[in-house]
Structure 1
Amino acid sequence: MAYSSRLRQAVGEVRKSFDRAGIEMADARFAQHGKHDTDPDAPLVMVACSGGRDSMALAAVAHIVCSSMGLRCGAIIVDHNLQKGSGDVAAEAAQRCEVLGLNPVMVRNIRVQETGKGMEAAARQARYEAIVDKAHNLDAKAVLLAHTEDDQAETVLIGLMRSSGIDAVSGMPERFNRDGVLFLRPFLALTRAQTTGICEDLDIDWWDDPTNGEYEDRATVLPRDFPLRSRVRHSLLPYMQEFNGGNLKSHLAQSSALIRADKDYLDSQADGVAKRTVSCESMKGVAASYGAVQSDDVLAVRINAVQLSHEHESIRWRVIVRALSILDIEASSRHVQAIDQLIMQWHGQGPVTLPSCYSAFRKNHVIRLCQDS
């Protein structure tokens, strides 16, 4: 069949994503003309599929690309059990992936436990855990996520509402590693309209999640009991696009890519400084440098305040956040700035109180982060 322009672009974006991630052809014969069968033990790429239009389009395109490179292409569908009939939705998504030719295709049934951060965050955490576990079991080279340019624009706006600084507007990375599994987002340059068109081109059915507000008779403004992302998608972004008079979604997504380059540079600099200025006290009483000990074995974290005082504040704050993250302390910007005061304007003041019964106390040139007990 002749590929539409949007399908050709999608194929190109997946190929570029594979190239950047170092995913190569399984065998030199796939560079030659003609049809070649994929080996049963060829490297495996998995698609995280919800059954929606974006992930169904990605499943189809990924299968096309993987077949041309001699790679196996599979799919994993996670049933969160949060909506009535979710099992049927997952089973239908799996059947559609199988019809497309993906193999293996599997459904993971999970139970989402509220952790105090909201059900949306809890579901995301449980979903990633299930995908990572299966990717490890199958020795997958990568897992593909179907986030689009629209998702990126929504993420930037949500970041502005919930946080501050360049991290808030840097959006989602095209590539990241989670617990030893490589995740790729090859569709960040494609719009939701394009993924819808790809499904139509290939005669693929999809499922629309009702909590995303995807129904024809919806009001102009979604009720507040809908998830924030749905309200941003259907109420805020359309208003802003009309007000702006241009393609605001594309502008937000492209800006986030430029900002992410700045963020990545600052993060790399902060990592180097953290290795020189942050150390850990393990449960066994052994001191270890930053990144050299598991967080569940850390009793306290030490920051060399004198050495860190010579760095720019943007680096200092990032190093402080890294020190807090070792102990899984979810501190606010107010806590970070208070610890920075212990570095830059210390005059014998008392400890900084942190969440989860932790505190930061300076003695001489060292700031120690530990639980109060």
Structure 2
Amino acid sequence: MTGPPAAVARVRVAVRRLLTELSPSGNADESPSSGDRLVLVACSGGPDSMALAAATAFVAPRLGIRAGLVTVDHGLQAGSAKRAATVADWARDAGFEPVEVATVEVDVTAGGPEGAARDARYAALTEAAQRLGASAVLLGHTRDDQAETVLLALARGSGPRGLAAMPRKRRKFRRPLLDLPRADTVRACRDLELPVWDDPHNTDPAYARSRLRAVMPVLAETFGERFVANLARTATLVAADNDALDAYAAEVLAKASHGTLSAELLEPNLKLGPLNAARRAVRTRALRAWVLSEGAEADALSYVHIEAMEALVMNWRGQGPVFLPGNVTVWRERNRLRLRRTEP
């Protein structure tokens, strides 16, 4: 008996591994409620998400898992509504249920079109998952996407969090194809004769990722065939280091926070002693985690903000408060950092 083509098989194995991990027992077939479990595939109609969708349509029913699909219409290109409808029609024919088209409005003035479209897309997918009760949303990012994200982070000076690139799982989002090259998804679509849409934005030089994709073959030729895989591995290694440092930072933050609220200090505050004693990489993470927990805006919180807060701890010269995005203010008062959040 002849099995599926090699690329198709690799994509299916990756999806099956992810769907099996979603089961508390480690095996979806052994879960008594597996028939009620719903996963959603985010599908643009491109080769990565189409290969993912086709694999999920094949694997999920065999594990007793329901598979739905959401395609997002950003409205940024002529014919986008028709494209979304075509993807939805294919998904229904492939057995997905439910199938939804999420039409979003993208504010292209807020952080550029790439970032704005991404934010709108993730918001729509999150809303759909919550409303439908999905246990996970599957995304089609590949090893090539991961490598590109690492290089973009390097170019932007993003630090370890940026170099960790895209996590395999975050909240309800899962990326089962991060270990597979883009060539596998393209080949799987050809082998299965799937209707694939080539997004013109992927080759538009107005977008940084598109410009990077144009030179990736040159970089791979220069540094060898393992170039993309090595970049993706870097993301995995840095992510593990980040997890360890974040755990240490949580311990420092707990010590600095312990017993800090009193009748005299009703606002959030930290004792400086535990922060002084910590290594810089741990201390800055603790400060970041603290202000985020108190309402600072993560997307707008920058290296400059963290440096200014650390200076309050380690280089105190009587400087004034640090103003953070999200209407959060941090200042030093004797042996403590204090924080206040005001309404806009």
**Same structural fold, with TM-score higher than 0.5 when normalized by the shorter chain:** yes
**Contact (CA 8 Å) 1:45, 1:144: kept in 2 or not?**
yes
**TM-score (ref. length: structure 2):** 0.88
**TM-score (ref. length: structure 1):** 0.82
Render the CA deviation track for 1:309-357: whole Å, top value 9, x for unaligned. Answer: 1111111111111233233243322331222122123243333454566
Structure 2 matches for 1:25-44, cutoff 5 A? 27-28=29-30, 42-44=36-38
Distance 1:372 1:6, change over 3 A: closer
**Contact (CA 8 Å) 2:50, 2:196: kept in 1 or not?**
yes
**Contact (CA 8 Å) 2:296, 2:324: kept in 1 or not?**
no
**Contact (CA 8 Å) 1:324, 1:331: kept in 2 or not?**
no
* Cα distance in 2 between the residues matched to 1:256 and 1:262: 10
Match of 2:273 among 306, 329, 350: 306
* Cα distance in 2 between the residues matched to 1:200 and 1:162: 36
* Cα distance in 1 between the residues matched to 2:58 and 2:265: 52
Q: What letter matches 1:112 in structure 2?
A: V
Work out whether 1:241 is the aligned partner of 2:220: yes
Structure 2 matches for 1:218-367, cutoff 5 A? 223=205, 226-235=206-215, 237-278=216-257, 301-325=268-292, 326-329=294-297, 330-354=300-324, 359-367=329-337
Q: How many pairs are equivalent?
A: 336
Distance 1:171 1:357, change over 3 A: closer
Render the CA deviation track for 1:62-97: whole Å, top value 9, x for unaligned. Answer: 111111101111100111111111001101111122
* Cα distance in 1 between the residues matched to 2:17 and 2:248: 27
Distance 1:192 1:162, change over 3 A: same
* Cα distance in 1 between the residues matched to 2:63 and 2:306: 48
**Contact (CA 8 Å) 2:11, 2:55: kept in 1 or not?**
yes
**Contact (CA 8 Å) 1:47, 1:73: kept in 2 or not?**
yes
Distance 1:7 1:304, change over 3 A: same
In structure 2, the residue matched to 1:70 is 64
Distance 1:163 1:278, change over 3 A: farther
* Cα distance in 1 between the residues matched to 2:210 and 2:19: 30
Work out whether 1:12 is the aligned partner of 2:6: no
Q: What letter matches 1:9 in structure 2?
A: R
Distance 1:324 1:99, change over 3 A: same
Secondary structure class of the residue paired with 2:277 = coil
In structure 1, the residue matched to 2:100 is 106
The percent identity for this pair of structures is 37
Q: What letter matches 2:5 in structure 1?
A: S
Q: What letter matches 2:187 in structure 1?
A: G
* Cα distance in 2 between the residues matched to 1:363 and 1:153: 44
* Cα distance in 1 between the residues matched to 2:86 and 2:245: 44
* Cα distance in 2 between the residues matched to 1:356 and 1:143: 29
* Cα distance in 1 between the residues matched to 2:284 and 2:217: 36
* Cα distance in 1 between the residues matched to 2:52 and 2:342: 49
* Cα distance in 2 between the residues matched to 1:57 and 1:212: 17
Listed as ranges, the gaps of 5+ residues in structure 1 are: 31-37, 214-221, 288-299
Q: What is the root-mean-square deviation of aligned Cα atoms in Å?
A: 2.8
